[in-house]
Amino acid sequence: METLLLSEVGVEAAARSAAAVMRAGGVILYPTDTLYGLGADALSDEAVVKVYAIKERDEWKPIHCIILDLEMAERYAEVNESARKLAKKFLPGPLTLVLRKRTEFSTGIFRGNETVGIRIPNDEFCLALARVLGKPYTTTSANPSGKETGRDVQTITGQLGSMAASLDLIVDAGRLPLRKPSTVVDLTGKEPSIIREGAISAREIMRILGL
């Protein structure tokens, strides 16, 4: 397992290293605009299974992904008008949009699911990685299921215990500020549904949607 200090190697070099690990089927620990996450090729069955194992997460619980922009989102999901309104106001930022997936995708996080959650974080490293990788990668909090996510690498690897050895790369951005998680909005039904209220309030989401 390799550790890269983001402040020393820089965003672009770290993104290239992380993308290489993902292309080889590996899993990384990386910083976002909210907290540290576990990243892997979102289209790889094997890589996604590793993420579930590291988190000790039930496989029926979906894992979301990070993309570069709405253009990339449209390759993998049905981006409706409500999604465009919210994206224009809040993205990049702490918002996850749950959309209907495109039916041609059935591996990785898309396997067995009719929907997919997408994130465009307001984070230079995350966006650089999405650009270099050229496809979605997983975003899920880097903690064992049921535990609060640590704000620094040492706390997180301590929480993961023996499963930390399954990480192939750590991108260390130091101790992150205390932040709320992303707000998760399901836009697949007749009416939008707030799955999780986080950094963006439900009231603000509904205001932008005119509801």
For 75-99, write each residue's pLDDT tens digit. Answer: 999 999 999 999 999 999 999 999 9
Euclidean distance between CA atoms 59 and 43, whole angstroms: 15
pLDDT(145) > 90 = no
* Percentage of the chain lying above the pLDDT 70 cut: 100
- How large is the C-alpha radius of gyration of the chain? 16
| pLDDT (0 to 100) of residue 138 | 98
Helix 124-133 with 11-23: angle, nearest 10 deg:
50
For 99-115, write each residue's pLDDT tens digit. Answer: 999 999 999 999 999 99
The ranges assigned to domains in the chain are: 2-208
| pLDDT (0 to 100) of residue 163 | 93
Provide the whole-model pTM: 0.95
| pLDDT (0 to 100) of residue 63 | 96
Mean pLDDT of 129-150: 92
Mean pLDDT of 59-73: 93
Q: What is the DSSP string of 134-171?
A: -S-EEE-BSS-TTSPPPSSHHHHHHHHGGGGGG-SEEE
For 11-47, write each residue's pLDDT tens digit. Answer: 999 999 999 999 999 999 999 999 999 999 999 999 9
| pLDDT (0 to 100) of residue 147 | 83
Domain 2-208 has CATH 3.90.870.10: yes
Euclidean distance between CA atoms 150 and 168, whole angstroms: 19
Mean pLDDT of 184-207: 96
Q: What is the DSSP string of 51-114?
A: HHHHHT--TTS--EEE-SSHHHHHHHB---HHHHHHHHHH-SSSEEEEEEBPTT--SGGGTT-S
